[in-house]
A and B are shown apart, each in its own frame.
Chain A
Amino acid sequence: DVKVTQSSRYLVKRTGEKVFLECVQDMDHENMFWYRQDPGLGLRLIYFSYDVKMKEKGDIPEGYSVSREKKERFSLILESASTNQTSMYLCASSLLFGRGNWAEAFFGQGTRLTVV
Chain B
Amino acid sequence: TQLLEQSPQFLSIQEGENLTVYCNSSSVFSSLQWYRQEPGEGPVLLVTVVTGGEVKKLKRLTFQFGDARKDSSLHITAAQPGDTGLYLCAGEGSSNTGKLIFGQGTTLQVKP
Contact = CB atoms under 8 A, between A and B. Distances in A.
Interface of A: 4, 30-31, 33, 35, 40-45, 48, 50, 56, 58-59, 90, 92, 94-98, 102-110
A95 B100 CA distance: 12
A109 B42 contact: yes
Contact of A40 (B9, B50, B90): B9
B42 A102 contact: no
B98 A50 contact: yes
Interface string B95-112: 011111111110000000
Contacts of A109: 40-42
Contacts of A33: 99-100
A42 B41 contact: no
Contacts of B9: 40
B42 A107 contact: yes
B98 A42 contact: no
Nearest to A38: B104
B98 A31 contact: yes
Contacts of B101: 45
Contacts of B33: 102-105
A28 to B, nearest CB: 14
A76 to B, nearest CB: 15
B100 A103 contact: yes
Contacts of B99: 31, 33, 45, 48, 56, 58
A102 B65 CA distance: 15
B42 A110 contact: yes
10 contacts: A45-B99, A45-B102, A92-B42, A97-B96, A102-B92, A104-B45, A105-B35, A105-B45, A110-B41, A110-B42
